[in-house]
Chain A
């Protein structure tokens, strides 16, 4: 039994034990401990993550002559680290006071923990699968596990989860078709055999493969035009669940793209696929899809009035950066894309936690009904501040480093317009996250929130720890590059040359150790200058300029509704809901077809059809 077997059996044990002990008050903490144990086991295989050694699993199945087996590669190690980390944080967050409130409100905490454990376990299986059939089976497993955690909320959540399921099943079928095609061409589903067989594929086959696998995996990633399901489904999941989903779940799509399209097919082969009648090739097409995935969901997020939906929409947009970096495929870009997976997981989970903490205390995540909470929930505010700086990609947080790498690679490789698209996404994110933090924590504190207190420690500790990770990996990005360089090597991408503080390249360096240190020095000087002035007196929020009027406790003196009216006047007409329209069109068409089919086989002598089929079956049976 290898360490990998230990890890997988621990993950399975977590599912079982949460199922058994989920009703106990300590059930959640047990699950948290088990995730921690998984993390420890993962780190006993640090040689994989840091040096690239592959750990095989003893587990094997043979189905229809195809052997399924599992192995831990540097790529799976990196993603497994994020998955287990996100599971650990979410489980810890859910186990204390939040869980008690959730259970008191009629939710089944056991179900939530089981669903979480199932998600982690199935994702680990997916991450370690070493052949296409195993990949597909685990892919479906992950889809159903995600469905389970999304559907827990019931009501609207169930509706959105079902919508996800339709997308996921469709995507799964595309992947299955792709696998069938590979099997027909190569006669094997083992990665090594496919890699040797691939050079013989014709361009048409490669295109078909790219479209089938690409669209199948894109569904989970929420890549345009398959993004519609994601935000609502994630936002309706109970707090810690949405943090977990937002952190890692949709990255499984990116993982599959990395394994199949980058590692097996190879970026150079994709770049060799010309699109007829244009000067684009397939990899540029992917890059532009990624760019649109950055821009459109970001500007949809800008319009959201629910904090969790806003974050979930940003999650889709940030996925675009990851794919963009990976598709560019040079050392800087792919490192940026991969690092962004980690970075996004850390700050997105922290942000969801912060929002969940506010919902826990105030009962609402509606951005038009909050405000001024910074004086009541300072830790939640700090978490959100660090999170949004990371999400917006500003120094000194880790999101800046990964985005900087992507920007540099876009400039180096000569894609100015893609660079512009990436920056527009960042600017839109800044607008949107400021609205988020302003409407929740800044501005006027509402009368009904006067008595709100800080979230309890069982929630603030995971929040602060995650924030610390966001800052430290921004300060010392080399810590994350240590995991990324082996992944790049394993995927056949040029590995990044780096040091603890960043990278040194011809044509522009980044050293976060210096940048962040001197930012702090700058802030220190700023503070010195500030406190050298006269002593400031704190005033009440109603002691405020109101054009000659006096403000009373009843006066609503807050600006939160329709936060960017000037911008919305300009770009508002561009929100046409084209994708919604497309989706509903497809649904209606399908409805029509199925109704038509039903009409035929149900209204005209169903017995006759049955009899015909039976006779034919009998006939063939007899003839054979």
Chain B
């Protein structure tokens, strides 16, 4: 691999992720607004929000680990983007596989947990306790998806998974070869994005936005940046595993937007689960569907 190309890749990939992620956040907010019969924010609002937060005069830090937590969240997701292949950019995807990526995605979570922990606010700690509990829920169907993908394509390397689907055409896409798994994956994506009814760990009226309770200024700004990465990663991962990736960005972008559109659109009709109920639901439905899908694949 040419090192200049590589360097360009790993600089551009997080940047692209950020820009596309901003658009996705914009879409999320607009969709929600339309469903609530509002107009919604203007085009650059997500970006303005971030710039405003970083530029605030009053920035409250509860100590070095609080700072480090935000650095780990943002930095961790930047690393994730470097390992996530997209059209035209392979980046470091050859150096780690889907399993490594899945575990890499837990590093920002850990950073967040550490940062919130130092804030010494029980609301934040309760939020993290709930977030980790939720992770114990959605990661189980997610792992089943990984197993199914590995069994179906015979590899856990993301570029190879994309190549197999693109060579075979639509009939070899994950959504065609393992439709049950694709359903489970979609539900899991929804839970992972912590959209209603699964936003137990944010729960503003209950635990004062949980992990965000002591976050303001650039701390909150960092979390806004991470939100863009989060929705982008979820979309790209789903498209990579089930929808054949993309030959170019013109094909790729509609696909990833379509994937994240679904949770954004359905989330508004739900209230919020209690923490334990949500977990039980995830263990029952997406996990059950994923187990069924896995059984179908292995048979």
Contacts and interface: CB of A to CB of B under 8 A. Distances in A.
Give the interface size bracket for B toward A. 35 or more
A375 interface: yes
Interface string B267-288: 0000000111001100000000
Contact of A559 (B60, B110, B113, B125): B125
Main secondary structure of the interface of B (DSSP, over half): helix
A408 interface: yes
B73 to A, nearest CB: 7
A530 B70 contact: yes
A579 B78 CA distance: 46
A430 B72 CA distance: 17
A569 B82 contact: no
Given A400-B103, A522-B78, A569-B276, A533 B122 contact: no
Interface in B57-73: 57-63, 65, 67, 70-73
Contact of A536 (B107, B148, B155, B217): B217
A518 B119 contact: no
Contact of A389 (B110, B156, B200): B110
A526 B72 contact: yes
A480 interface: no
Contact of A545 (B54, B79, B123, B155): B123
A539 interface: yes
B147 interface: yes
A434 B128 contact: yes
B82 A506 contact: no
Interface in B72-111: 72-79, 82-83, 92, 94-100, 103-104, 106-107, 110
A385 B99 CA distance: 22
B253 interface: no
A25 B225 CA distance: 56
B96 A511 contact: yes
A374 B107 contact: no
A559 B73 contact: no
A534 B57 contact: yes
Contacts of B77: 522
Contact of B156 (A423, A507, A543): A507
Interface in A502-552: 506-511, 514-515, 518-519, 521-527, 529-530, 532-539, 541, 543-547
Contacts of A536: 59-61, 67, 217-219
A447 interface: no
A102 interface: no
Contact of A570 (B78, B139, B280): B280
A563 B62 CA distance: 22
A515 B104 contact: yes
B129 A442 contact: no
Interface string A426-451: 01101100100110011111000000
B214 interface: yes
B244 interface: no
Interface string A397-432: 000100010011001001010011001100110110
A533 B10 contact: no
A430 B57 contact: no
Contact of A395 (B60, B104, B221): B104
Contacts of A442: 65, 114, 117-118, 120, 125
Nearest to A431: B132
A411 to B, nearest CB: 5
Given A419-B147, A438-B113, A515-B100, A544 B61 contact: no
Nearest to B207: A559
B208 interface: yes
Given A541-B62, A545-B208, A430 B106 contact: yes
A438 B75 contact: no
Given A411-B150, A438-B128, A534-B57, A545 B82 contact: no
B222 A570 contact: no
Contacts of A563: 129
A301 to B, nearest CB: 14
Interface string B203-215: 0000010000110
Nearest to B213: A545
B125 A443 contact: yes
A294 B122 CA distance: 31
B107 A519 contact: yes
Interface of B: 10, 14, 53-63, 65, 67, 70-79, 82-83, 92, 94-100, 103-104, 106-107, 110, 113-114, 117-123, 125-126, 128-130, 132-133, 135-136, 139-140, 143-144, 146-148, 150-151, 154-157, 160, 200, 208, 213-214, 217-219, 221-222, 225, 274-276, 279-280, 294, 298
Interface of A: 372, 374-375, 381, 385, 389, 392-395, 400, 404, 407-408, 411, 414, 416, 419-420, 423-424, 427-428, 430-431, 434, 437-438, 441-445, 506-511, 514-515, 518-519, 521-527, 529-530, 532-539, 541, 543-547, 557-560, 563-567, 569-570
Given A408-B99, A431-B136, 15 more contacts: A393-B103, A414-B151, A416-B151, A423-B143, A434-B132, A437-B117, A438-B128, A507-B157, A519-B107, A530-B70, A536-B61, A545-B208, A545-B213, A564-B129, A567-B279
What are the 3 tightest A-B residue pairs by CB atom distance, in nearest-first order?
A526-B75, A533-B218, A442-B117
11 contacts: A374-B65, A430-B106, A442-B120, A507-B154, A509-B157, A515-B104, A526-B74, A533-B59, A545-B121, A558-B120, A558-B122
